[in-house]
Amino acid sequence: MKIELDSVGKRYKTEWIIRGLSLEVAPGQRYAITGPNGSGKSTLMKMLSGFLSPSKGQVSFSLDGRQLGVHEVYRHLSFAAPYIELIEELTLTEAIRFHRQFKATKPGMDDEAIYQLLGFRKARSKQVRNFSSGMKQRLRLALALVTESPLLLLDEPTTNLDEEGIGWYRGLIARFGTGRTLVIASNAAVDFDFCEHKVYIPDYKQ
């Protein structure tokens, strides 16, 4: 997936959050989006997913040389973020199967393989509402990473993860993160220190 941002600006009411951002997000490359709380990292992630449109400038998407309409983009991406809600009423088994109805998973990643990956096989009949916050975050990340999608967007990926969970996240990236375009919004180096490119949001305020 390639994403081109041409002089992009985003404004909420009268406040400009991002201004003058031109960037090419190239296929197979890894990008870190950094900046203080409230600087606009999540806002940029939402524009990179096609969920938010810019107030100024252009965001365009292409896949294998074919231009994608903004309404097609969601089919080709996985997005894990604390503000993307899981369906709390579903059990783990149901949540995985529900996800699979919309998105293909990588070869060999059947239900059993995903339970093993998550490391909480005994929770398969537990409702997501009864998961701990770390378990919910692992589920968000696992579903995003095992999905067959050329664009992977991870906003604050290690939120609610303990040290072991952070190691687990890095293992997931090593196993499933290669060969796809990866964008990570975070201020924790451990989340993104393997990224080749960095975008610091306060550089795009004027």
Ligand X SMILES: Nc1ncnc2c1ncn2[C@@H]1O[C@H](COP(=O)(O)OP(=O)(O)OP(=O)(O)O)[C@@H](O)[C@H]1O
38 scored as a contact of ligand X (CB under 6 A): yes
Distance of CA 152 to the CA centre of its chain: 5
Q: What is the rounded CA–CA span in Å between residue 104 and residue 191?
A: 25
Applying the rule CB under 6 A, the residues between 40 and 79 that interact with ligand X are 40-43
- From 36-44, 102-110, 111-119, 192-200, give the range in contact with ligand X by CB under 6 A: 36-44
Q: What is the rounded CA–CA span in Å between residue 106 and residue 104?
A: 7
The CA dihedral of 141, 146, 149, 153, to the nearest 10 degrees, is 10
Total interface residues for ligand X by CB under 6 A:
10
151 scored as a contact of ligand X (CB under 6 A): no
- From 35-43, 84-92, 133-141, 174-182, give the range in contact with ligand X by CB under 6 A: 35-43
Q: What is the rounded CA–CA span in Å between residue 124 and residue 185?
A: 30
- From 30-38, 124-132, 141-149, 162-170, give the range in contact with ligand X by CB under 6 A: 30-38
Binding ligand X (rule: CB under 6 A), the pick from 2, 3, 23, 35 is 35
Q: In what helix (H) or strand (E) does residue 171 lie, and over which residues does it extend? A: helix 163-176
Interface with ligand X (CB under 6 A): 12, 17, 35, 37-43
